[in-house]
Amino acid sequence: MTENLRRIVVMNSKGGCGKTTIATNLASCYASHGFRTALFDYDPQGSSMRWLRSRDENLPDIYGVVAHKSARDNKTQSWHLRLPIGTERVIIDTPAGLRETELLNHIHNIDEIVIPVLPSPIDIHSTADFIRDLLLIGKLRASNTRVNIITNRVKANTIAFQALKRFLDTLKIPVIAQIKDTQNYVHAAERGMGIHEIAKKQLEEDKILWDQILKQLEATAS
């Protein structure tokens, strides 16, 4: 394994909060910035791998790993053996409904945890439970793993978003980005692209946002 390898896992036991959207956009963003990138899909639904299959071969390369099979066979610790030599960033997409015991496997040797959360009361409650379970894992406290939150599908100036902000203020976890609710993510996903890979003038702001997300995740990387 290279010393420059960093692993980022996108997780929240709540379904539909944007794990795959964020994992795939992160992978494409890293690849576009010249990092040798791998994308792991621990979800048997295989959405990240479907995204990767629809990716045009002229776009920056991303190495895909169907990881849920080895997770089922309890072989999670050996996944790094399958990485191409020189891999620099590993982005890991996880399924909804992760239980406490499974959390442990996913945070092993991880540099950054990214938790997407939607502005809705149901999502706030589930995410609060998830974060509590995550922080209770002693291994996380003892490691250098950083936890980050990304608010997703945000409609600014809504009551739901105000409630989410109040909830996040009670946590001591950095909120590294606020992603808008826009069909651009749906369209990019269909084409196996990250939003910043789409050449449209209107998306300049989103490109800046993803560059900032990368910068935050790289802040402590040596």
Ligand X SMILES: Nc1ncnc2c1ncn2[C@@H]1O[C@H](COP(=O)(O)OP(=O)(O)OP(=O)(O)O)[C@@H](O)[C@H]1O
User: What residues line the site for ligand X (CB under 6 A)?
Assistant: 15-21, 43, 47, 95-96, 152-153, 179, 181-182, 185-186, 189
| Closer CB to ligand X, 43 or 112, in the complex | 43
> Smaller CB distance to ligand X: residue 9 or 36?
9
Least Cβ distance, residue 170 to ligand X (angstroms): 23
Nearest residue (CB) to ligand X, 27 versus 189: 189
181 binds, among Mg ion, ligand X, none (CB under 5 to 8 A by kind): ligand X
CB 77 to Mg ion: min, Å:
23
Q: Where are the beta strands (DSSP E) in 51-192?
A: 62-66, 89-93, 112-117, 146-154, 175-180
Nearest residue (beta carbon) to Mg ion: 20
- The minimum distance between CB 20 and Mg ion, in angstroms, equals 3
Question: Binders of Mg ion: how many residues, by CB under 5 A?
Answer: 3
Among residue numbers 30 through 49, which ones bind Mg ion (CB under 5 A)? 47
Q: Which does residue 182 bind out of Mg ion, ligand X, none, counting CB within 5 to 8 angstroms by kind?
A: ligand X
